[in-house]
Chains A and B, each alone.
Chain A
Amino acid sequence: MTTPVLRHDGADPPDAAVARGEAAFRAARARRRRATLLGLALLAACLLASAWMSEVRPATLAEGLPRVGDYFHRILPTLRWPVLLAGSETEGSLASWFYRLDSWAWLLFETANMAALATLLGAGAALLLAFPAARNLGAGTLAMQLARRGLEAMRTVPEIVFALILVWAFGVGPLAGILAIALHTAGALGKLFAEAIENAAMGPWEGVRAAGGSWAQGCRFAILPQVLPNLLSYALLRFEINLRSASVIGFVGGGGIGEELYTVIAQNYYEEISAIVVLILLAVAAIDLLSERLRHRVIGAVGGAA
């Protein structure tokens, strides 16, 4: 599509020029609208096709939805007001709902530790790979391809798959879970880190290189100070995501609260399911709040002495 050219030949009286401009504007607007409509129609067609292929049918949906509600109804605890704060021996009290709070809290703590370690390991690996992966720093073609393809592989394979492999190698327990999440984190963060690096100003890079600085020194002294707040912010966001991942990685033997959650779901210990889910929600919300505060402080504070 070509835009009509508004030629000024000086011969037009002013209102004729306005009319010509308005006509051009209308033509351009009409074209834009046709393109938008066509795009929306295509999108709708794709959606319908994919729903049909993945067997999402309105009837099935209508039939199944109430059962979701049923399940939630079942896992709800039966709490009774008069004895809400009574001991765990009393049926209907909060304490009896969370009667295994001590071991769950410990498992949750272990889960948070797993998430923290995995984030740290993954972010470290991502940092090392992001510099060669960034297009603007001119690492060799081989190094760049290796870094980019490596990061892709790490983030394309789901954590659960990594966990299954690693459980087979290292046995059931947190180590397999941590490594699995770390691998996926490295891939996901590495891409974001590389994009942040690609957006950095190149003047400082030129300054360091022109002073005889090596490639690594350029990364460390010209680029890192610029992108560090961004990278920390991404890593903290990833920590929240990893807490959720760490909560389910136990389903396949990766340690943490997931193993317990899997057991109670499999055994239909309904009230315990809701208790554990509530605990996970609380933990995620707490970390959410904490990391947001941390992120804001970090963005303000980074960039002091070299």
Chain B
Amino acid sequence: MDAAGYAMLELQGLTRRFGATLAVDQVSLAVPAGQMLGIIGRSGAGKSTLLRLLNRLIEPTSGRILSEGREVTALRGRALRAWRRDCAMVFQQFNLVQRLDVLGNVLIGRLAHQHGLRRALVLLAGAFTAGERAMALAALERFGLLEVALQRAETLSGGQQQRVALCRALLQQPRLILADEPIASLDPANARVVMEALRQVNREEGITVLVNLHHLDTAREYCDRILAMQAGRVVFDGAPAALDAARVREIYGISEEEFAAEAAARAEAGRAAA
């Protein structure tokens, strides 16, 4: 909570229905600034829908989202774009422009900061300033990607691409990062690098991070707080230590090993798709 008593994010009865399915069902919670919140759940539990609702990529059926007292669900047009700039998304499939070079992909993070004539110039001629390029290059250098800055995104490995996506997110100068299964398409070594990077921006820049994960171990290792979802509902919300094996079995009806095996199978499928 900040001085005025507002949370970075407050969800009030947030619900999203797809036909007959309730993807997200009456989710209410508050996230204080600077937290690293892990959201776990089996496939189809509504984790992804929840993050997309927060960025307003999809609209809620009912309920509200507030950020520092402002109603996010009411934003339109320019104000909505400003909100999206403030809560950067990182996707499982990276969502980079494959034919564009790495530097160009990172600079996309600056688009929502441009206004008026500058905006038009960049739109027509791709005329980013030296200052913007400096920001992008510094971000790339930070994650060991400076050498590939001029290569097309499609020439990079999955781990590298996800770090490029993270650089793009950082160039938005966000207050929040919403990471939707950021490591599900990566091998273990690259998954670690990306999780470390997320932790670093959370601790050093104080950016609030919400990250969807399907490995319990990863969530326990990196997150301050864990949210477990099942069929659209939040079924656990607490400290990582409280989510022990007995609790997992209670929530999901399967052992932690089975949960991990399921996650591994999904990760395999994700890598094959990437």
Contacts and interface: CB of A to CB of B under 8 A. Distances in A.
Contacts of A226: 97-99
A207 B172 contact: no
Interface stretch (B23-31, B81-89, B220-228): B81-89
Contacts of A220: 123
Contacts of A211: 84-85, 88-89, 108-109, 111-112, 168-169, 172
Contacts of A217: 111, 123
Contacts of B45: none
Interface residues of B, number: 36
B152 A303 contact: yes
Contact of A303 (B99, B165, B168): B99
B57 A210 contact: yes
B103 interface: yes
A213 interface: yes
A226 B112 CA distance: 21
B111 A210 contact: no
B175 to A, nearest CB: 13
A206 interface: yes
A203 interface: yes
Given A206-B91, A211-B89, A305-B150, A201 B81 contact: no
Interface in A93-130: none
B93 interface: yes
Report, as a range, how many residues of chain A touch the other chain.
Answer: 20 to 34
B191 to A, nearest CB: 20
Interface in B90-133: 91, 93-101, 103-104, 107-109, 111-112, 123, 126, 128
A262 B81 CA distance: 59
Interface in A200-215: 201, 203-204, 206-214
Interface in B32-63: 55, 57
B91 A216 contact: no
Nearest to B128: A306
Contacts of B101: 303-306
A201 B91 contact: no
Contacts of A150: none
Given A217-B123, A221-B97, A210 B108 contact: no
A203 B89 contact: no
Q: Which of A203, A207, A209, A302 has the most CB of B within 10 A?
A: A207
B273 to A, nearest CB: 11
A11 to B, nearest CB: 34
A236 interface: no
Contact of A213 (B96, B108, B152): B108
Contact of A305 (B55, B95, B103): B103
A238 B225 CA distance: 59
Contacts of A303: 99-101, 152
A19 to B, nearest CB: 38
A142 to B, nearest CB: 17
A206 B108 CA distance: 12
B26 to A, nearest CB: 25
B49 to A, nearest CB: 14
B95 A206 contact: yes
A49 B55 CA distance: 60
Contacts of A302: 99
Nearest to A218: B111
A207 B84 contact: no
A305 B104 contact: yes
Contact of A306 (B57, B84, B100): B100
Contacts of B97: 204, 207, 221-222, 225-226
Contact of B103 (A207, A209, A210, A306): A306
Contacts of A304: 101, 150
Given A204-B98, A221-B108, A225-B97, A216 B123 contact: yes
Interface of B: 55, 57, 81-86, 88-89, 91, 93-101, 103-104, 107-109, 111-112, 123, 126, 128, 150, 152, 165, 168-169, 172
Given A203-B94, A212-B172, A217-B111, 8 more contacts: A201-B98, A210-B95, A211-B85, A212-B83, A212-B112, A213-B108, A303-B100, A306-B126
23 contacts: A201-B98, A203-B94, A203-B95, A206-B95, A207-B168, A210-B55, A211-B111, A212-B85, A212-B111, A213-B81, A213-B108, A213-B111, A214-B81, A214-B111, A221-B104, A222-B97, A222-B108, A225-B99, A303-B101, A304-B101, A305-B150, A306-B100, A306-B101
Name the 8 nearest CB pairs between A and B, nearest first: A212-B112, A306-B104, A207-B95, A212-B85, A303-B99, A212-B84, A203-B95, A210-B89
